[in-house]
A and B are shown apart, each in its own frame.
Chain A
Amino acid sequence: MSDEAISKESFAVLLDRAGLTVPEAEAEELRAAYFYVKEMAARVRTPRGREAEPAHIFALPHPEV
């Protein structure tokens, strides 16, 4: 994965999509840190079949027997 910082323009799109209005200096700090988010999001994507379930599943209460 590239460790190049995301461009200002692309990062502005991400902030906008998230509904965030951020002062420029704070946006720059976030842009520099965004590398960590990309790196983490890449790491949780291991090769796995589509049947691999998440850790948290939906379960209804068991009926009384």
Chain B
Amino acid sequence: MLGDNAFPTLADASRQLEAGQATSAGLTEMLLERIAVYDGRVNSYLLVTADAARAEAAEADVQIKAGRRRGPLHGVPVAYKDIYETAGVRTTGHSRSLEGNVPTQDAATVAKMKAAGAVCLGKLATHEFAFGGPSFDLPWPPARNPWDTERFTGGSSSGTAAAITAGLALGGFGSDTGGSIRLPAAFSGLVGIKPTYGLISRRGVMPLSYSLDHAGPMAWTTEDCALLLEVMAGHDPLDPGSADVPVKPYASLLERDIKGLRIGVLRHFWEEAEATPETVAALEAALDVYRGLGAEIVEVTLSPLRDYCACCSVILMSEAIAVHEGVLRDRPESLGMILRQRLRLASLLSAADYVQALRRRRELVAESAAAFESVDLMFTATTPAPAPRLDDMGMMYTFAKPLLTMPFNVTGAPAIATRAGVAASGLPLSFQLVGRPFEDDLVLAAAHAYEQATDWAAARPQLEPMANVA
């Protein structure tokens, strides 16, 4: 059942399982077979837990057949970025420094997925500790973009993006501190949502920056992400950043009418990021789709993109060095060169720099909240151009150009990246929709409406099977 593009979306698989038209064992075996044949092309998995996946799938089939289906994710195969702790299963952060690390507990999100009956296929590549990459001096190679394996997947949830895009998992889990869900989603032609800060527990997800880290789902469609978010979300009293708010039925709220919504366009962000003409054309075409759906499009201006990025980067680096200074001091050779250098650079920030960035953050959050008084959503690019070549990614690329994703880590607002068409090169393009805090349901519904009005999700990349290579 390899059939190059014959694999379903996560939501389709869920419906097939519910209707008895597919089995979890069959879906799992198909994906394990695809992993064996194609993953050598994209390096998305650090560890495939095939035996455990088969056992979980068999158990799910028994329960579903017996009428004990737990919900839409029961029996659905997924995979986790290797910063999500998994009890009894190696969790490395893609770092030599944790090469033999086997947690004794699951991350809160992994526990929720297990309780929902999802099947775990394995652990996925990331940039080292979600900060250093793409690196070639680690025990595992960096993930490659299935649309063109010479291209960057984006990071740091690089393996999650590559696996889903290549049809090696039906959905997956990433983390986003400055764009690490949305950038790989954009470069890989996926949907990825950074939910509102505090909506999903961070407990058991290796920290990079306590006040900017967000866990979140990535998948082929918005509906898939909504199904995953519905299970992941929820208050966790053991995560100090967790918000005690009700979890909404995100999937059943997707079909709401977006007629009359006011969408504020952050045009100056993509101008400052020097978006390419074909990216701008795709963004304008997406806005036309929203006009056609009855949304009102207005312009919005915030502080310069670089102000948001500076605020995000200073906080991120300051908190990251607090997380990693021990290993940088005591075992620097256990870290890849990119992470080592970025952490060294972070060491040069002062306490005053950090506090000034936190003061700036309060100003920027207030500015964003004020702008949301006159619009329901904001719209901007996810990246200024399609995926660059993997070998063009310098050590300090994250500093050289402002990232269009960082503003919404600063504000903590929900932000989704979704495909916006295809460049002349055949690589995917993407835009972001941003909502008010805890209005993740509206962000998902608006992305879903666009997806339903276009056919970008129909195309899948074609990979050469490893066995056919001389």
Contacts and interface: CB of A to CB of B under 8 A. Distances in A.
Interface of A: 14-15, 18-20, 22, 26, 29-30, 33-34, 36-37, 39-41, 43-46, 48, 52-56
Interface in B388-438: 395-396, 399-400
Nearest to B321: A18
A48 B356 CA distance: 10
A30 B344 contact: yes
A44 B360 contact: yes
A37 B348 contact: yes
B347 A41 contact: no
Nearest to B317: A37
Interface stretch (B87-95, B164-172, B267-275, B307-315): B307-315
B314 A44 contact: yes
Contacts of A18: 344, 347-348
A43 to B, nearest CB: 4
Given A33-B345, A33-B395, A56-B358, 11 more contacts: A30-B344, A33-B396, A33-B399, A40-B309, A41-B314, A41-B356, A44-B310, A52-B362, A54-B355, A55-B365, A56-B211
Nearest to A40: B310
Given A37-B349, A55-B365, A43 B306 contact: yes
Q: Please indicate which of the listed interface residues A15, A26, A40, A46 has the most CB atoms of chain B within 10 Å of its own CB.
A: A40
A27 to B, nearest CB: 9
Contacts of B284: none
B317 to A, nearest CB: 8
A36 B395 CA distance: 13
Nearest to B400: A36
A37 B309 CA distance: 12
B325 to A, nearest CB: 9
26 contacts: A19-B347, A20-B347, A22-B344, A30-B345, A33-B395, A34-B345, A37-B345, A37-B349, A39-B310, A40-B313, A40-B314, A40-B399, A41-B349, A43-B307, A44-B311, A44-B314, A44-B356, A45-B360, A52-B363, A53-B362, A54-B362, A55-B211, A55-B359, A55-B361, A55-B362, A56-B211
Q: Please indicate which of the listed interface residues A19, A33, A37, A55 has the most CB atoms of chain B within 10 Å of its own CB.
A: A55
B363 A46 contact: yes
Contacts of B344: 15, 18, 20, 22, 26, 30
Please report whether the interface of chain B is mostly helix, strand, loop or mixed according to DSSP.
helix
B348 to A, nearest CB: 5
A55 to B, nearest CB: 4
B356 A45 contact: yes
Contacts of B329: 19
Interface in B308-332: 309-311, 313-314, 317, 329
Contacts, number: 85
Q: Please indicate which of the listed interface residues A15, A22, A41, A46 has the most CB atoms of chain B within 10 Å of its own CB.
A: A41
Interface residues of B, number: 34
Contacts of B309: 40
B196 to A, nearest CB: 15
Contacts of A48: 359, 363
A39 B306 CA distance: 10
A44 to B, nearest CB: 4
Contacts of B314: 40-41, 44
Closest 3 CB pairs of A and B: A54-B358, A43-B310, A36-B399
Contact of B348 (A14, A43, A45): A14
Q: Please indicate which of the listed interface residues B329, B341, B344 has the most CB atoms of chain A within 10 Å of its own CB.
A: B344
B99 interface: no
Contacts of A53: 359, 362
A29 B400 CA distance: 14
B341 A30 contact: yes
B341 A44 contact: no
A19 B347 CA distance: 9
Nearest to B412: A55
B60 interface: no
Contacts of B337: 26
A44 B449 CA distance: 37
Nearest to A43: B310
B361 A54 contact: yes
B357 interface: yes
B353 interface: yes
A18 B328 CA distance: 12
A46 B211 CA distance: 21
A26 B361 CA distance: 32
Contacts of A44: 307, 310-311, 314, 353, 356-357, 359-360
A29 B358 contact: no
